[in-house]
Structure 1
């Protein structure tokens, strides 16, 4: 994912055909060791495709992923009707707070 992110950053900066050296330079600039084989594999997979095509393909794939919105809503409604509703709200608040800083950097 970090190699794709570097590719997209370079593309957004105006480099429409980033090379392996360009990607490696971006990745190493933030102190991460580069796996040249993975960079080469990424470039091979992206060869001949524009970023617009990649985004269109990704959008099609995401459209087929179920969002699962109904189940959490039903669970929330059941919790609100029970006498344990305040406890459920406290647990949810604790979870939200713990997710604030998970210790991940942009390229981890």
Structure 2
């Protein structure tokens, strides 16, 4: 590994160490949907593609808006949004560990 460059695997290991919750079930056991987080879904009938933002809202600001803009009126989308007054980073779950989040539209 070159100085200053990290492999993707190193990044994911670091992210996992920084996550408060190991998966969505653990997050859901301590946080309340509608107060601490929101799941926003638009299932478009003729869409074979879904644009997904697992770190939307105040977790990674701007992500939700990008997904809605990319999806437009044609593509389906799903957004997990942090909505707490502070500490939304606590809601971050490494993407490869997001299990248990069922998206229904």
TM-score tier, shorter chain, comes to under 0.3
TM-score, reference length from structure 1: 0.26
More strand, by proportion:
2
Higher percent of residues as helix: 1
Q: Which has the higher contact order (CA 8 A, sep 6+)?
A: 2
Higher Rg of the two aligned structures: 1
